[in-house]
Amino acid sequence: MNFSPNQYTSFGLLFFFFRTFGLFGLSDFFIYISTMKTKIADLEFEPLIKAKAIEERIQAIGLQLSADYQHCVPVFVGVLNGSFLFIADLIKQIDIPCEITFTKLASYYGGTKSSLKIRDDIDFSMDIKGREVVIIEDIVDTGNTAHYLIDKLKPKEPASIKLCSLLLKPKALLKKIDELKYVGFEIENEFVVGYGLDYKEMGRNLKDIYKRVK
Catalytically annotated residues:
141
Strands 119-122 and 99-106: antiparallel
Contact yes or no for 83/58 (Cβ under 8 A): no
Contact yes or no for 51/208 (Cβ under 8 A): yes
Contact yes or no for 90/58 (Cβ under 8 A): yes
Distance CA 205, CA 20 (A): 34
The DSSP 8-state label assigned to residue 105 in this structure reads: E
Distance CA 75, CA 150 (A): 14
Dihedral sign, CA of 64, 104, 45, 30? Answer: positive
